Structure 1
Amino acid sequence: MDETTAGAGAREPAPGRGTGDLPRFADLAGVRLYRRNAFAVTGLPANAQGRAVRQHRQRLEARLAIEDTWPGEADSPLVGGHRKDEVRAAFEEFQDPRRRLVDELLWRWGEADLGCECPGTVHEEHDQAVRFHAMALEAEDGRIEATEEGRDTLWRGAASTWGTLLERPEFRDHIAHRIRALDDPRLRNHSADYFLAGIPRLLVSPLTEIASGPGFAPRLARVCAGWAEYEPFSDLFSELFEETVDETERTINDGLRSAEDKREAGQYGDAVVILREKVLADYHRLDSFREFVSEWRHEQVAHSVAVALNNLAVALQHHHMVKPPTAKQRKTVVELAEKAYEIAPDRDAEGIKENWSIIYDQFTGSGHPAVARGFPWKKAVLILGGAIFVVVMSGVLWGPAVAVGIAVGLFYMIGSAW
């Protein structure tokens, strides 16, 4: 298909934020993306124009003269209907073909004859994408009852269907066809690529509004990760997380300064509490959306946290050379050193590992931590105790010879497992 292109010498405005003569993208952005859609609110088919729009408007205005709301289409994914002022505002969007086309692209096409040559799958994918996305927003708003797993499923469905559709050349061709079909001079300076470029940011715009919701915040990173898998959305989330990252980094740095002050004052217990309960909690919060944080920035935060943990572990090591530690204090020092090594970026790993090895040897007497780390002592004791019980009972029931044979077999099996 041939595409309608911008006129010679025309400068096409950038879609989305900062749109010049087409603010419809900004008008729709947010959680009411679909509830503001002119086609969703009025119930008009995607190919409605001229006289059909005027007649439908007259019918709805007559109905809303005696009713408070218009329920919309019978099979609409939106729940609760639309108020009189919302319906009136929606009809105004049909006055400008540029604004109306944005709404058309973001609502179901159904059985409307749009005169295009799209494969049937394109229209099916489009309508499925709209339904998934609209239902996800309705569920987050409490209009549709759904479990957390159910809501996450809707978000995944929306991301995969929109993400796949936006990369199909047939969808771009469809937009170009609709620009030609609407045949309005106001569309001549807008190409299919203009509209196509504005849609991804608009689709993820609701996440900015609901990101801070207490019920949604813990799920935010995984929901966004589902969208970021698809090329049209891959670069849109750093901005969303920027404020959260800034705030988390400030909190981490405040905690690090406080812990440093306590360490230098010899208030080691307070320093341990701050690092464990505040700094590490915030660091793991940052880590939960690591893919939306630049690599250099995450590395710098990891460096600061690892160095603070290491320095406190070393300070405690020196402190306990004078004042022998309790078992709990020994465990604390080892855990701090181990956590420092776990978090440390590559540039710090060698030095911190050396400190960890010295501390581990001093406070456990078990040799290099790489050897003893993670050994399941409790499990080993239980298995060994069970094996001894079996051997003893075998001796009682079947005699010493059988017991010895079973003992050899069991201990060979245990040794092989470890």
Structure 2
Amino acid sequence: MSQERPYGFDTLQIHAGAKPDPATGARQVPIYQTTSYVFRDAAHAAALFGLKEVGFIYSRLTNPTVQVLAERVAALEGGAGAVCCSSGHAAQIMAIFPLMGPGRNVVASTRLYGGTVTQFSQTIKRFGWSAKFVDFDDLDAVRAAIDDDTRAVFCESVANPGGYVTDLDAVAKVADAAGLPLIVDNTSATPYLCRPIEHGATLVVHSATKYLTGNGTVTGGVVVDSGTFDWSASDKFPSLSQPEPAYHGLKFHETFGPAAFTFHSIAIGLRDLGMTMNPQGAHYTLMGIETLSLRMQKHCANAVKVAGWLENHPKVARVTYAGLPSSPYAERAKRICPKGTGGLFTFALKDGYDACVRFVDAVQLFSHVANLGDTRSLVIHSASTTHAQLTEEQQIAAGANPDVVRVSIGIEDADDLIADLDQALAQI
């Protein structure tokens, strides 16, 4: 897409990365349901495999439908490039894979989705990596956690489950001073509400399963590279700055510049880890993104109304929504998420754990599922489900206390949602 003036978000979410199909004139992005692609000749094949020419080889690496999605999300985030993969968890591994090595660590926020805490505290140990969890409101603690083996700083823009808003500008300064990339999970906010790269992030990850797709039909993940980090400034990132044996000594950063991370993620990450997004899933996500801004406006408007009502209910102890004036993160949210803080938040019930369980069982319009970001309103008791693998101390640090219910507010009529919550609360 080339033009004299930059396109706005609403235009990019429909057009970025796509043009009418040159073979058929199809206006919507086709689903290229193919594993492989015919080469023009032997020289063409050799150039593709040698990274001397960009094109399609095999759908584990690249696919035309998936490529449109990558380019669209990169455009919406203001990044230099992106790579799509099979899930949000895959995106997290893809993001840190080129940066890490045995004995290396990542400094991560305590306020993360429970599955991410488990992935970082348990699973990555099998690669010889580790994570240090720190309260990112304590910048001195973040600085102190960074050591000679730290290779990345990781947080969520709007944290799942509590809707906590991270001060990305402040954290980015800490990461930059240490010569480290800041990786931001922007799933809950989406690029419509927050653009982490504008606040200093190096990489942005998404679970496309959530708001980007918006209809609960597919799983997917995206890693967006800002293209601004100097991978050759130190010897900390040899995968990107040093000769790559698999490509006859090619140096990714020297060869591809701002696109180095994206090329590495495709040529090595997807090649060897194989966490590929399928083209039909990419197509569903592309269709969802076409209405992203419209949906996020409604998610935010509904969440403000529902959270305000809950805050005044006699059985509710507290509400964590950063979009409320009473939130300790209200002022920060105006700077980090000026258009709103999304539809995700928690509320605590005065009668504790058992009341949460009874409440979840009593809702009718809300769906009790392990997902968020759907057009439908969703509810779950995080401590007994998504964060059940964590210790109670970790649950509290993440905002998934035993007395807390997480809601993902959809785009239904807000009064209908309030009526459902009201009848469910009446039953406890």
TM-score by length of 2: 0.22
Q: Which has the higher contact order (CA 8 A, sep 6+)?
A: 2
Higher helix fraction: Structure 1 or Structure 2?
1
TM-score by length of 1: 0.22
**Rg comparison, structure with higher value:** 1
